Amino acid sequence: MTRIGVATAAEVPDLDDEGQLLLAALRARGVVADPVVWDDADVGWPDLDVVVVRSTWDYHSRPEEFLAWADRVSSVTRLLNPAEVLRWNTDKRYLAELERAGIPIVPTQFLAPGAGPAHRYEGVEHVVKPVVSAGSRDTLRLGADDVSRSHEHAVRLLDAGRGVMVQPYLHEVDEHGETAMLYLDGEFSHAMRKGPLLTPGMGLVEGLFAEEEMSLRDPSAAERALADAVLAAMPERFSADLLYARVDLLPSPAGPLLLELELTEPSLFLDHHPPSVDVLAEAIVGRALAPRR
C-alpha cells in the first residue's frame, strides 16, 4: 500500500483546512495519507513513499535543524519539494540570484550579521525583515522618519546572527494588493489577490503567521509573463522536481515586481480553487508510484 506523509508543524498537527482537503483527495485515490510533524522523532520516514512539505511554518526559528531534517528524509524517501530546493529557497537572498538572471525584483538591500543597521532606504517608507522568515514574522513596516526604530529592529536581528533585508514600501499594494501566482506540477493553476498586510506603526506578528485577506484574481498578462519568467530563471537542476510553486508579485509604476518565490511551505489556497486539490493529489500519487532517481 502506498503511504504518503504530509509534513506539518507541531502547532498544527492535523494540518490546516487546505491540508485536510489534500488528505481527503489523496485517500480518495486509494493511498494511505496522514499528517506527520516534521520534528517528531517517532516518525518512521523510511516507511513513507513520499513526504510532502506543507504547513511546516515554524521552520524559520530553526532553519538549520529543518534543513538537516530535509536531508535525512531525502536519504530514505522522496521529499517534495526536494531538499536542495528547500535549502536554496529558505534564505531570501535567492532574490539577488534571480535579479542577476534578469528578473525584476522589489528593490532590496541585504545586511549581513556583523554589519551595521544603516541602509539606503532611510528617508522613505520601508520594510525591514529577516532573510529567513515565514508568515510575516519579525517583519516591520517603518515610516520615512522612523530611522531609530528601523535601526533597532535591524540590530536585534543582526545581533541574533540573522541576515536582514530592507525594501522600500510600494504604496501601489495598498489598492491593488499582492498577486500570488500558483503553479502545480509545473503548470499554472490559479492566482490570488492578497490584501495589504503591513500597516503603518504595526507591531510584530504574534503566532505562526499573519492573517491574510484572500480572494481569487484574474492576473494580468504582465503578471503571468513575469511569474513564468521567474520559474524559467530558476537554477535548471530544480525545475523538473517542483511539485508546487507560488510566485508573489507586487505592483509598481514600472509593472509587477517579484516579492518572493515560495517553494518551501506556502499556502496554495486550494480551498479557493477546488480543481487544484485534485491536480495536486494526482501529482503526488504519480510521484509516489514513480521509481526514485
pLDDT higher for 289 or 24? 24
Edge-first strand order for the sheet with 187-194 is: 214-216, 187-194, 178-184, 244-250, 257-262
Indicate if the pLDDT at residue 207 is higher than 70: no
Bridge partners (DSSP) listed for residue 249: 179, 258
| CATH code of the domain occupying 109-168 | 3.30.1490
pLDDT at 237 over 80: no
The model's confidence at residue 195, banded by pLDDT at 50, 70 and 90, is confident
For residue 213, which of 202, 201, 197, 198 has the smallest C-alpha distance? 197
Question: Which of 69-78, 138-147, 200-209 shows the lowest mean pLDDT across its residues?
Answer: 200-209
3-state DSSP helix/strand/coil % of the chain, to nearest 5: 35, 25, 45
Reported CATH class of domain 3-89+276-289? alpha beta
pLDDT band of residue 292 (cuts 50, 70, 90) is confident
pLDDT for res 38:
98
Q: Where are the domains of the chain?
A: 3-89+276-289, 109-168, 171-269
Q: How far apart are CA 55 and CA 219, in angstroms?
A: 26
Give φ, ψ of 270 to 5 degrees. Answer: -65, -30
Considering the domain delimited by 171-269, tell me its CATH architecture: 2-Layer Sandwich (3.30)
pLDDT for the residue 133: 86
